[in-house]
Amino acid sequence: QVHLVESGGGLVQAGGSLRLSCAASGRSFSGYGMAWFRQAPGKEREFVAAINWSDGNTYYTDSVKGRFTISRGTAKNTVALQMNRLKPEDTAVYSCAASAQWFSSTPSTYDYWGQGTQVTVSS
């Protein structure tokens, strides 16, 4: 059974940093796209960043380019999202997802999802 478990969310002041981690288990993710999405209250789920598990290629939504970095974590089968220079508009529930299709920013193409972790940025 596939599990994606996020950690690292919390409350931070604007300009601060947080590092999210996603621990994946239950199958091989070779060739998969691993992504972070976020959803703020009253808004649709939004693509944030993705990484190809096999070759490390990455994509970012424009609003986080230069501030967020997605990477394969140091621990086996983990994906990290380093978030710097956070803004209040980054406040959302951040979810990790995995897709057999590379590359996609569409939530419906993702096969597996974590439960999400709350990120709150105060002004």
What's the rounded Cα separation, in Å, for the pair 32 and 52? 6
Residue 107, CA atoms < 13 Å, CB-side half-sphere: 14
Residues 6+ apart with CB under 8 A from 40: 46, 91, 92, 93
- Give the tokens for residue 72: 């394969």
Residue-level pLDDT, tens digit, the chain, 123 residues: 889 999 999 999 999 999 999 999 998 888 899 999 999 999 999 999 999 988 899 999 999 999 999 999 777 889 999 999 999 999 999 999 999 988 899 999 999 999 999 999 999
Number of Cβ within 10 Å of residue 10's Cβ equals 13
Alpha-carbon distance 53 to 64, whole Å?
20
Indicate the SS3 state at residue 51: strand
Residues paired with residue 102 on neighbouring β-strands, in sequence order: none
